[in-house]
Structure 1
Amino acid sequence: MSFIEHDIADQERFNLLLLEPGEIYFEDYSVTYFPKGTVKADKEKRSQKGHLKICSKSVVFVPKVLQFPILKLPLKSVTSVEEWSGDLFSRLDKDKVMRITSNVAVKMKENNIIGPYSFFKEASDYTFQLDYVSVDDCLPQICQLHRASTLPPGEQTAMINAIVLSRQSRCKFNTSWLEDLYEKIQFETQGDRILPLVNNPGRIMLTCKRLYFQPFNNIEKVPVIKIRLKDISRVIKRRFLLRQIGIEIFCKEGAPCSHIYLSLPTSKERDDLYGTILDQKELMLEQSSQDDMMIKWQSKNLSNFDYLMYLNSQADRSFCDLTQYPVMPWIVTDFISSTLDLADEKIYRDLGKPIGALNEERIQKMRERYQEMPDNKFLYGSHYSTPGYVLFYLARIAPEYVLCLQNGKFDKPDRMFNSLDDTWANCLEGAADFKELIPEFFEGKGEFLLNKGVSNFGIRQDGQPIGDVKLPPWAKDHHDFIDKMRAALESDFASENIHHWIDLIFGYKQTGEEAEKADNVFYYMTYEGAVNLDKIQDPNERARIEIQIMEFGQTPKRLFKKPHPPRFTKDGPRHYSFTTVSSSSQENEEIEVKAEQSVQSAESSVASSVQSCLSLEDISALYVTHQYTLHKSGVTGLQLTEDGCSIFSVSQDTMLKMYSLEDQRQLRSFNVSNMALSSCLVMPDNKTIVVGSWDNFVYFYSIEFGRILDALKAHDDAVSSVIWKNNILITASWDSTSKIWQFTPSSELHRFDSAVFVGQLDHESGVYCQDVDETGSLLVTGTEEGQVVIWNVGSLYPIAEMRAHEGSVNAVGISSDCRKFISCGSDCLLKIFDVETQTEMVVKNLGYQIHCVVWCNNLSLILCGTDLGQLEVWDGDKATLVSAVKGHSAPVTSLEVRTRCVLTGDKEGKICVWKPMWQDS
């Protein structure tokens, strides 16, 4: 969509663009206008029938005859407004004639042609006869607004707002416009409909079936805008003029109303409306998380253009708000060649640098100036996206918007958007031109490049009138230009590098130290959070800042705190490497080499892990050495530190516990979350514990400092499992996904880097359990509906999928040689599969459930925790039960195997430590 699609351009001759940006239109009166000097003899010839529009900063007369110009009288230039008591051709005119004296009159749309306004700056009288009401019905309101116009800007705004509030408080929603009289009203308030350069106030009504907007004036095509809740596809909170008061609603394709953008008086009212909408049963939203969209883009299921548009929307960019219009990158730099070779990297712009830093000579001068500046330093005094820049590109199809923004004037003809080559050259070399592109360059028919003659833009210095934009020689026409620009955006070069531009515009290089390093620092007021308008008491200061916000543009909301991963550039499965999350090419190469080595050395990894396993003799002689009741409910995760001194456990009671085996006492008890905890793991450095929670978060707890270092919102539903191998963190969730993260515990004190998202593995139902091999390259997952999936972690592709159980899968485990895996389900079945062929090698109906399993690395032995409270040992080759020992009176829910030691936890919160009977207890 584009803002040109909005219906404001298709309305009657008068529209809100003829007013100042943000000006409010109140009333409409049918009148007859008598130009100065009209006498009785030529009354019929000179008088003009039309409508008088009362607005917050002007009075506008709109004649019915199109040849006559629209007449606007700015209230700040008006010297008097009064009832006219003289004789105006008839005694019937008594109490119906009003005279306005003004030093300035603005004439617009003469002969209905959109062109620069004509300003007549001389004192004159303007006489209007009201057709159906008396002067007393409209004169007081005009006089009140006239008084407001004499005040400083801030006080004028405050007085107008008070007038608006008073009027609106007397206007209630007309319930006769409800589509169904039995609809239950859920929420009602007042707010503005936001369109480019236009705010139109009205009443907002939400019922159990529809959202209604009833404007306070008659400017809209319909008296009430109606949106069925079942037609709504997306509801997004928006930042409007640096305040969190906006809400944008998108409807499904084919809906009668496609879209509406509303702003409310306060953040609380906006949030209340947003929450109430989401609570309605009729609502059926299209769900797509940021991680999901990233994965779709990485795997080429989403185009570069569509992904950038999605990021724009997430970052509060909207076609309805010219201060936050969607921004797109310059891609091509060659606008003079006869052909465009998309395989030639020389034609592309360096996407790792902002526009202002592409010219080394220019940026060097700016760096020198930057160093000499006081606080609130900036490199660029103008932004890459402002209302002026957007309309610079769109002037040919949006002339009224240009006139509205530029006080009734077009830019000088030679400074308009006349040539792609000239515009790019100015962005590259101009002292204050750093603008990026807009979506229209990559989508649509390119009509914004054509002058269809609806406006008079003037004559250039070469004597030629403003015509179509001069296209590069490589473009046959405007259609071909758009097609080739889109092809360049979707090219291999752009796909491999666009994540660098995302880092600049939406990511970690947007602010702070990284922005300085990247030469990406703009004026401080363009950034979110730089100013809080609600706390500014001085109305004049607030008005000044609002004007600056309009003029300077706004930096998008930051979406990413870490480097954005690149796109997968090769089709099909590929070997997994961690180049996606490193910030330097040297680090990328090192990590990729390590990943290759870890996969190629699987046998040595397995061999080295033999020492950490129990022997057959140990397992045959296991007995309980210690029992502890540490939790109030089921133990869901157990970990023994590498030195064997301490036990960490988590439970559905929300607590993380640390118990010293040496001191035989509890050392830590930490309430991690308000919801149950599902799993935990201790990092090899014995400094960090990773905890999964039902509140959708993964928590990183520092053993040294005894506090949460970071919390990662990993999923959209409960986190069911967390496992870690070779700097790969894998989280599973009831939201039907497992996610891959890079997570390397820092060796530096007081420093912590959270996990960085790498990829997502989608399932048909919630993921209940998972296990990964020693190299971190093979993953097995089990789901709520009994499915087991084998994944290649490197390529993020499924190797195989099978329906293993009738109920949920309780536990899965991979053998050390990666040839077999076990699955146990709520249907009481134990199954062992061949990894390569997915053949069921063993199927046992036990009559009871197994809740947790561990496959011992150096043996074909499997340890299982059962519903009977037993610790069972199975021979994976012979499919026979080796031994079963009972240590719990409740089902065993958690199991951990360490060097010559086994830990188990049960549903009642008890933990047992098992050791061979000849080992010292």
Structure 2
Amino acid sequence: MEKERFTMLLLDPGEIFFEDFSVQIKLERSTDSKQNQWLDGRLKLCSKSLVFVSKDINQPLIKIQLKDTNIAEKCNSNDGQTGSNDILLVYCKQYIEMLKGNVLAPYKFVHEPTNFLFSFNYAKVDDCLPQMSQLLRAATLPTAEQNSMIMAIVHSRQSRFSFDTSWLEDLYEQVVFEVQANKVLPLVINPGRILLTTCRIYFQPYNNMDQYPVLKINLKDIKNVIKRRFLLRQVGLEIQWTRQSDNKDEYFFLSMKNQEDRDALYTNLLSQSALKIETIHQNHMTMQWQNGSLSNYDYLLYVNSLADRTFHDLTQYPVMPWVLQNYSSHTLDLNDPNVYRDLSKPIGALEPKRLERLKTRYSEMSEPKFLYGSHYSAPGFVLFYLVRKYPHYMLCLQNGRFDHPDRMFNSVADVWKNVLVNMSDFKELIPEFYDTASNGDFLINNFGIDFGFRHDGTKIADVYLPPWAENPSNFVHKLRNALESDWVSKNLNHWIDLIFGYKQKGEEAIKANNVFFHLCYEGAIDLDTIKDVNDRHGLEVQIMEFGQIPKQIFKLPHPKRLIAINFIRSETCFSIQQTSLSENKKMPIIELNNSITFQSHKEAVSAVIIIADGMQDENLVSVGRDGVLKIYSLKTGKLTRSIALSSVPLCSCAYYQTLSNANVLVVGSYDNSLIFYDIEFGKIFDIVYGHEDAISCLAYSKINNIIISSSWDCTTKIWRTSAPDKKIKLVERFVAELHHDSQVTCMNISRDETLLISGTEDGEVFLWKLDDSYSLQFSVKQHTSKINAITFESESKNIISCASNKLLSVIDVQTSTQTYLRTLEEEPICLAWISSYLLIGDSNGDLLIWDPQSAAFISKFQCHQGPLISLTVSLDNKKVITGGQDKKVIVWDCIKN
């Protein structure tokens, strides 16, 4: 019962509990005519206070702050009521009573000089008095110097201890690393020792406050290890692990003495073979979110985590946006854009009149200037929202008091109004507003705490909700539905730009009216370089109370979401796993069965396409480096035509049908020519020498009725098509020329045939408009090596490219920002779509199937001996055709599970 009543939240934030003693206590006040009786309990020795916990749960806990203590000395008792004459006398000017009647309420400050007598049952006064005297001396110093002396005492105690190896689970596990560390919870720091072995990581606290004498985590149960900032320094480490007893995720947050210790533990931990970390790449998660596989809520939690925001540190608590602005109507229509807040503006810029006043003040400031003198996230703001759920946190942070009743979180509508008009209130929300698992319990006064009365006589109880909310659970569910709505999905990228992205600092922040006090930005000041402890402490307090800007994650505009998903309660983002080919144990979504193999070319197959328009059945066409064009019937499975078109290698092929229903193949050659072949009459009817170097790729746009050719001469050219019976001069065929900085190696047309992309030898991607202007929309250096293949996704909102350095990349068309990058095991060479899945042929002859929605590889097939150079898919998505360096053309039947 004692341990349940006493928690470290009854101490000052960050105060350290050392040890406790079984004692009896008696109070002697100067105003008392009758002395109190001796009471049994335990005395807690802490870094800034003494706390007595009575065995009688109706008696209050007594906290004696060392700064209010004048005397602590050994004396003798002659009343004969205790079993010991070994008495500790503590004289203080005032003391605090907490949890009287075991009721959570504001602390009672007793402003009366008092003698406390402590009689030790099993220990002696001399067992605690020397350390208490040290702490009393520290309490006479200014706060910064007091903290410094306390940490010296802590490190002195810690240096005398080493981990008790009798706690090891396995006699055969080997010790790898040992270091001093603090277990961190909100407002609580508990020192101890970390021991890393080949099988487990252990934490042994120096006191008996933790649930277990030693925390043991199996390395095989660890899912993630993340470096964190703590108190503005790179000394934190957060470990996510699965508790096997109930299969729930736990988090263990540590802080070290310095960055060197933290990095050493991190490095040693990751080097253990028993550790199997789930690697979740940033662009993988962005891709999943963009394609609708990840909810807005989970993605925001993930981005918060990337930016060093964690639930274990109130100074860096996850931040969420206000998404609604309607808190007064009786109904809420989430299809109405007018109910939503403008996510492209920070909170402080939403109300024009207030913004003008802030900008006027800004213009009159000397450097460094700031628009907002308050922040959108700070410990006080977090507890402002959570005071009903975690009242003990607020009492800890505010020295045993709750806020004034009129300043508490009483009404959602009032808070929204305040953040719009108040000159010093710019706070955003916290995840609890969107966490449907909690059912809005933070809005209810479940503890029945007496928070007092407002100025109008209203008693503080539950939070007043908008009229459209039936109850707290309904309120949170509607907010979550709003967060996952189409409107928010389309605009959430703007808010991410402000909080975590390129509008967070610098010129873009000034343009976006998003400028905060300079000390709240990461890296604004290096505290380790400030030697004066008082100056350093002053800066720490200032930054802690003001709030911290998250670590900047994105340096370019964040891409928009492409697909909105219906709101379904999901687990947190940390439970999402990246599927690897080696770990995929499920039934593959697509299977390929080899139905026909043609070994007909004498050299490598350069390109394969399927033609169907005007033909009796689908026909397969291949061209090879042997200069030969071949046509096969997919119906009979036989080769129907073989034509030697050139004495030099052929590299590409395209097909079109004329208005007179003539079927024409256009073939690109290494001799710089485009060869036009009439399929029906089996003859070449035109050769156009349109480039100054080899043709690398061809495409046909039916809507625009144009042939597009790209070449190693660094150009892409647009040509009008022609019928076999019409000779047209070269100058009449030519339409436009698109210039590049190096050889063009690949290109692709969007499905609606309005856009063209091209990739080059030096890794650059070009996006062009397919209209009369053929204008360049953007170019971006996406790779550091040759781009082998490039394609649009179905709605042309993303560009997917692969390069010779084994990278698969995704670019957002609107912002030209890379949203995904993955290094493959082998060099990817060619790309094709089958339904919504991307096929990737690689240098090992494998065909990989990638799901863009989940950004995961779902299947892998061995198709060729040597590189798979070209592939295409039948119109009904039932056949996949591959061509390889092994001279084979293979037809695969596609089976969907």
Distance 1:302 1:121 in 2: 56
Question: Aligned-pair RMSD on alpha carbons?
Answer: 4.4
1:679-703 per-residue CA deviation (whole Å, 9 max, x = no partner) reads xxx992359999xxxxxxx9989xx
1:645-674 per-residue CA deviation (whole Å, 9 max, x = no partner) reads xxxxxxxxxxxxxxxxxxxxxxxxxxxxxx
Find 1:522's aligned residue among 516, 521, 531.
516
Distance 2:197 2:461 in 1: 50
In the alignment, does 2:261 pair up with 1:291?
no
SS in structure 2 opposite 1:258? strand
In the alignment, does 2:801 pair up with 1:740?
no
2:288/2:854 contact within 8 Å kept:
no
Aligned residue in 1 for 2:425: 433
Distance 2:799 2:329 in 1: 49
Distance 1:731 1:209 in 2: 42
Distance 1:217 1:179 in 2: 21
Q: Any residues of structure 2 matched to 1:752-767 within 5 Å, and which?
A: 756-758=817-819, 766-767=825-826
Q: Aligned pair in 2 of structure 1 residues 640, 299: CA closer, same or farther (>3 Å)?
A: closer
Deviates more, 1:181-190 or 1:114-123: 114-123
Q: Aligned pair in 2 of structure 1 residues 129, 91: CA closer, same or farther (>3 Å)?
A: closer
Q: Aligned pair in 2 of structure 1 residues 734, 80: CA closer, same or farther (>3 Å)?
A: farther
Distance 2:211 2:140 in 1: 33
Find 2:342's aligned residue among 322, 340, 350.
350
Q: Aligned pair in 2 of structure 1 residues 120, 49: CA closer, same or farther (>3 Å)?
A: same
2:745/2:788 contact within 8 Å kept:
no
Distance 1:196 1:442 in 2: 21
Distance 2:855 2:248 in 1: 41
2:830/2:868 contact within 8 Å kept:
no
1:772-817 per-residue CA deviation (whole Å, 9 max, x = no partner) reads 79xxx99863136644369999x999999995625553533789x9
Find 2:400's aligned residue among 403, 408, 411.
408
SS in structure 2 opposite 1:367? helix
Find 2:267's aligned residue among 257, 270, 275.
275
Shift of residue 230, structure 1, vs aligned partner? 1.3
Amino acid at match of 1:137: D
Aligned residue in 2 for 1:706: none
Aligned residue in 2 for 1:423: 415
Find 2:187's aligned residue among 190, 194, 197.
197
Q: Any residues of structure 2 matched to 1:438-457 within 5 Å, and which?
A: 438-443=430-435, 444-457=438-451
Amino acid at match of 2:810: I
Find 1:49's aligned residue among 37, 40, 43.
40
2:2/2:53 contact within 8 Å kept:
no
Amino acid at match of 2:313: D
Aligned residue in 1 for 2:559: 565
In the alignment, does 2:685 pair up with 1:685?
no
In the alignment, does 2:206 pair up with 1:216?
yes
Shift of residue 389, structure 1, vs aligned partner? 0.5
In the alignment, does 2:829 pair up with 1:770?
yes
1:769/1:812 contact within 8 Å kept:
no
Distance 1:10 1:609 in 2: 85
Distance 1:799 1:251 in 2: 25
1:428-460 per-residue CA deviation (whole Å, 9 max, x = no partner) reads 111111111111111121111111244221122
Scaled by the length of structure 1, the TM-score of the pair is 0.70
Q: Aligned pair in 2 of structure 1 residues 239, 686: CA closer, same or farther (>3 Å)?
A: same
SS in structure 1 opposite 2:548? coil
Q: Any residues of structure 2 matched to 1:131-146 within 5 Å, and which?
A: 131-146=121-136
Q: Aligned pair in 2 of structure 1 residues 97, 800: CA closer, same or farther (>3 Å)?
A: closer
Aligned residue in 1 for 2:758: none
Unpaired runs of 5+ in structure 2?
A: 567-653, 659-664, 676-683, 688-692, 694-710, 716-737, 747-760, 765-778
Q: Any residues of structure 2 matched to 1:772-851 within 5 Å, and which?
A: 781-783=840-842, 786-788=845-847, 803=861, 805-807=863-865, 809-812=867-870, 823=882, 825=884, 828-831=886-889
Aligned residue in 1 for 2:615: none
Find 2:251's aligned residue among 256, 259, 274.
259
Distance 2:242 2:323 in 1: 31
SS in structure 2 opposite 1:167? helix
2:502/2:554 contact within 8 Å kept:
yes
Q: Aligned pair in 2 of structure 1 residues 528, 86: CA closer, same or farther (>3 Å)?
A: same
1:769/1:809 contact within 8 Å kept:
no
Q: Aligned pair in 2 of structure 1 residues 452, 684: CA closer, same or farther (>3 Å)?
A: same
Deviates more, 1:270-279 or 1:137-146: 270-279
Q: Aligned pair in 2 of structure 1 residues 601, 342: CA closer, same or farther (>3 Å)?
A: farther
Shift of residue 608, structure 1, vs aligned partner? 13
Aligned residue in 2 for 1:480: 474
Shift of residue 768, structure 1, vs aligned partner? 2.4
Distance 1:833 1:360 in 2: 64
SS in structure 1 opposite 2:23? strand
Aligned residue in 2 for 1:84: 75
Aligned residue in 2 for 1:540: 534
Q: Aligned pair in 2 of structure 1 residues 110, 603: CA closer, same or farther (>3 Å)?
A: farther
1:66-96 per-residue CA deviation (whole Å, 9 max, x = no partner) reads 22111111111111111113524269533x1
SS in structure 1 opposite 2:424? coil
In the alignment, does 2:66 pair up with 1:75?
yes
Unpaired runs of 5+ in structure 1?
A: 1-8, 573-599, 620-624, 626-638, 644-681, 691-697, 702-709, 745-752, 840-921
Aligned residue in 2 for 1:115: 105
Q: Any residues of structure 2 matched to 1:170-185 within 5 Å, and which?
A: 170-185=160-175
1:737/1:766 contact within 8 Å kept:
no
Shift of residue 323, structure 1, vs aligned partner? 0.6
Distance 2:452 2:32 in 1: 40
Aligned residue in 1 for 2:142: 152
Find 1:386's aligned residue among 358, 378, 383.
378
Shift of residue 767, structure 1, vs aligned partner? 4.8
Distance 2:855 2:142 in 1: 65
SS in structure 1 opposite 2:496? helix
Scaled by the length of structure 2, the TM-score of the pair is 0.71
Shift of residue 306, structure 1, vs aligned partner? 0.7
Distance 1:229 1:171 in 2: 24
Aligned residue in 2 for 1:887: none
Aligned residue in 2 for 1:905: none
Q: Aligned pair in 2 of structure 1 residues 204, 797: CA closer, same or farther (>3 Å)?
A: closer
Distance 1:310 1:228 in 2: 24
1:885-918 per-residue CA deviation (whole Å, 9 max, x = no partner) reads xxxxxxxxxxxxxxxxxxxxxxxxxxxxxxxxxx
